[in-house]
Chains A and B, each alone.
Chain A
């Protein structure tokens, strides 16, 4: 029942402290026909996720104040009601070890900064395809 509701929702959780990246991601998500639910940092994402699991996917910046994207994602992977929500991590990090550890921790897909409209679009579609397969 919960899974069915989740596959039907168009809500995408977006958490990024950078207003420019947030504005870009919000618009791109809208253009893909989804409903962005936008918060300004990891702490706000964590607080929202404690009471709201109705998301088709989540997009986090890797480096945010209060709670890093990876920490929010680890919380999601530890909670049964959140663990199947696919997570896109936006990052300008190029450290392969960090990325490998992030995948191991449960990140579904990375979007490197800077990114274009097309790059966002293809990564976003892969994120949601992953969701449908699981």
Chain B
């Protein structure tokens, strides 16, 4: 059964909070570091996917989607992980569906950014 937007939260903050276990006393907030890395990395991956889809370079697009799926899943960014997985394993109607999936990812990322920035602020307060 595939997951849909209505069944999957944009960000499961409970998953993110698991990494509080890895906090070292006196060091910067580890979860904030992860959020910052993620917010920097995703636009870079989008750029790679966009260029690769435009150039019909499926292997590069697949690799970037794979990376996006992995890091999103690990940080509890579940809906993006699901869409990235669809793009990674896309076989049919590639030239039509791949740009649509990329747009879905970009839209979803706007929602994710708000949630992660709010979490970042809460932790930095």
Interface residues of A (CB under 8 A from B): 17-21, 23-24, 27-28, 30-31, 63, 65, 92, 113-118
Contact = CB atoms under 8 A, between A and B. Distances in A.
B70 interface: yes
A28 B34 CA distance: 13
A20 B66 contact: no
A20 B37 contact: yes
Given A20-B38, A23-B37, A31 B74 contact: no
B30 interface: yes
B22 interface: yes
B76 to A, nearest CB: 8
Given A19-B37, A20-B74, A113-B73, 16 more contacts: A17-B67, A20-B41, A21-B70, A21-B71, A23-B34, A24-B19, A24-B34, A63-B66, A63-B67, A92-B66, A92-B69, A92-B70, A92-B73, A113-B74, A114-B73, A117-B19
Please give me the 8 A-B residue pairs with the lowest Cβ-Cβ distance, nearest first.
Answer: A114-B73, A20-B71, A114-B74, A117-B21, A113-B70, A27-B22, A92-B70, A20-B37
B57 interface: no
Interface in B62-86: 63, 66-67, 69-71, 73-75, 81
Interface of B: 15, 18-19, 21-22, 24, 30, 33-34, 37-38, 40-41, 63, 66-67, 69-71, 73-75, 81
Contacts of A20: 34, 37-38, 41, 71, 74-75
| Consensus secondary structure, chain A interface | helix
23 contacts: A17-B67, A18-B67, A19-B40, A20-B37, A20-B74, A21-B70, A21-B71, A24-B19, A27-B22, A30-B24, A31-B22, A31-B24, A63-B66, A65-B63, A92-B66, A113-B70, A113-B74, A114-B15, A114-B70, A114-B73, A114-B81, A117-B18, A118-B21
Contacts of B81: 114
A133 to B, nearest CB: 28
A19 B40 CA distance: 10
